Structure 1
Amino acid sequence: MKKQRLVIPHEHGGWAMVSVPFLLGMFVINPWWVHIPLFLAWFFLYLATYPLLQAVKRKSSRKSLIKWAMAYGSVAALCIIVPLVQFPELFYFAPVFIFLFSINIAYVIRRKERSLINDCSAILIFSLGAAAAYLVGGGGWDKTMVVLVLFSFMHFMGSAFFVKTLFRERENKRWHIYSKIYHIGILLVPILIGFLGMVVPYIFSTIKAFVYGGKPMKPSRAGIIEIIGVVQFLILSLLFLN
């Protein structure tokens, strides 16, 4: 009997995006034990979306992929019970998630997964983890929740621009310009909304965009740079938001 392979996402950036915004929202407020089942629910929901999106593309293995999605989704559903009992307001995130995820599905159907709009939708979904963690920690539907989502989104969109200029759009000079404009913009946004210190976590991203954007680079080296970038973003963001 052929051994079935574990179906998990292969994009390393996804692992950072599912965890870092959540950690940011959790540590900026008040970490406690309910964050554990909430994160497990969030993590397994992320795992469930991968085979589900793959099932849209791959008819030959659709049945197996749907089974994997249902298995991961079942674990997520079990893990979310306690957080939902404690915080029924978490239900409010469901329509937003469904809407954004439907955009991802639409782009997969059209075979345009690398579209910037699709990236925006996926990154915004991940950034909602910061809002959920903040809410469970005792936060409200306030300005801090909004900026947690915004700052997470800004960082990972910067990564999306950077990676595109390294690989798929390396020969496209317009993308290099877009990336540089974007990275200048993320230095200005914190100032404009009254979070001057939050300029600091984006300095690394802006420097790498100008120094390495458009230049040949091995995926492994790009991955190391991205890991350094996301770790410093988390640490410095917590420093300036607390």
Structure 2
Amino acid sequence: MRRLMVPREHGAWAMLSLPYISGFLTAPAGERGWARVVLGAAGMLSLFMARAPLMRLAKQRHRRGSFGARAGDYWYSALVYLVLAAVFFILVASLGEGWELWQIASAAALLAALQTLSALALGERSMTAELTGVVLLALAAPLGYYLAAGDGLWGVESVTLWAANATYYGATVFNVKMKVASMVTRRDSLGGREKLALARESITYATIAVPVWVALALTGKAPAAAPVVFTPMAAYVAWSAATMSSRLKLKTEGFTQLGLSLAFTAALIAVWRYGW
């Protein structure tokens, strides 16, 4: 009997579901199409669950020239999830949301192809593959906004919401990589230069992202308080860099990241709803 695969990447679940929640809760009050939102969420989750078996098949084919002994389970899982996704999105389209869904589906397909190619060529944990994946998952934000509001898929509010989620979760990727790198040193304390070297990518990312969001806020392309939503993560990254050591409790780090992500999502909804 074939077995369904279920993705175990807890961080990816948050990176998908929280942007979607921020999207539909930011949409104008009184215009939410709850049937579209629920069906869209089901379709989106089905597509996300199809990714794991498809990636396994692609990796097996790329590395060994064949799909491997468990190819049957992988194909079965992918097919079930893809059929479910098709059913849910056909139901969404039947509610009058057709052409715009094709647009966002095309964008998602392009990003998924780039992320897969990067993962196969450079590795799933390469920076290119991970950041492309973050941008792809953050696309759930404009999807949620559009399904709730009924329009505005590529409007300023929706697109900046996508960018804000991508910026935030991109920062979490750099932070986790920094912590894992410090853990590999197997040293309880590190010198200032060593910490700076390990935190270089996180610092570079912040020095680019922060001025961009300040500029967007000052020019009215984003809410005036938009930079504020990144403050808790920025403070945590700075604290992580300052207290860096090889001692890293993965479960504690996971819960910390989840708490920060929930706080970010709540702040994002408040600022994007009332801060323009």
Contact 1:55-1:65 at 8 Å conserved across structures: yes
Structure 2: distance between partners of 1:48 and 1:135: 23
Cα distance, 1:108–1:87 mapped onto 2, change above 3 Å = same
Match of 2:229 among 201, 204, 215: 201
Unaligned 5+ runs, structure 2: 61-67, 186-193, 218-222
The 5 A counterparts of 1:82-97 are 82-85=91-94, 86-88=96-98, 89-97=100-108
Give, as a single letter, the amino acid of the residue that structure 2 aligns with 1:60. A
Per the alignment, do residues 8 and 169 of structure 1 end up closer, same or farther by CA in structure 2, a change over 3 Å counting?
farther
Structure ID, larger Rg? 2
Q: Output the CA distance in 2 between the equivalents of 1:101 and 1:92.
A: 14
Give 1:43 shift.
0.6
Alignment partner, residue 205 of structure 2: 182
Relative distance call for 1:39 and 1:21 in structure 2 (3 A) is same
Give the match for residue 210 of structure 1.
Answer: 238
Query: For the Cα contact (< 8 Å) 1:190–1:198, is it kept in 2?
Result: yes
Q: How does 1:1-242 map to 2 (within 5 A)?
A: 6-29=4-27, 30-33=31-34, 34-58=36-60, 59-85=68-94, 86-88=96-98, 89-110=100-121, 112-138=123-149, 139-140=151-152, 141-168=154-181, 174-194=197-217, 195-213=223-241, 214-215=244-245, 216-242=247-273
Q: Distance in 2 between matches of 1:123 and 1:181?
A: 18
- TM-score of the aligned structures, taking structure 1 as reference length: 0.91
Distance in 2 between residues matched to 1:128 and 1:91, nearest whole Å? 14
Gaps of 5+ in 1: none
Q: What letter is aligned with 2:46?
A: F
Distance 1:153 1:236, change over 3 A: same
Give me the whole-angstrom Cα distance separating, in 1, the residues matched to 2:122 and 2:211: 34
Q: CA deviation at 1:132?
A: 1.2
Give 1:84 shift: 1.9
Are the equivalent residues in 2 in contact too, given 1:180–1:206 (CA < 8 A)?
no
- In the comparison of the two structures, how many residue pairs are matched? 240
After TM superposition, which residue ranges in structure 1, 4 or more long, deviate above 2 angstroms?
3-6, 57-60, 107-111, 168-175, 183-190, 213-216
Following TM superposition, by how much is the alpha carbon of 1:186 offset from its aligned partner in structure 2, in angstroms? 3.3
- Compared CA separation, residues 169 and 49, structure 1 to 2 (3 A): farther
Q: State the SS of the aligned residue for 2:6.
A: coil
Closer, same or farther in 2 for the Cα pair 1:144/1:111, shift >3 Å?
same
- Mapped contact 1:183–1:209 kept (Cα < 8 A): no
Say if 2:56 and 2:74, in contact at 8 Å, map to a contact too. Answer: yes
8 Å contact kept, 2:116–2:129: no
Note closer, same or farther for the CA distance 1:28–1:162 as it changes in structure 2 (3 Å cut): same
Between 124-133 and 50-59, report the one with greater CA deviation: 50-59
Distance 2:146 2:6 in 1: 28
* TM-score with structure 2 setting the length: 0.81
What is the Cα-based RMSD across aligned positions, in Å? 2.0
Offset of residue 169 of structure 1: 6.5
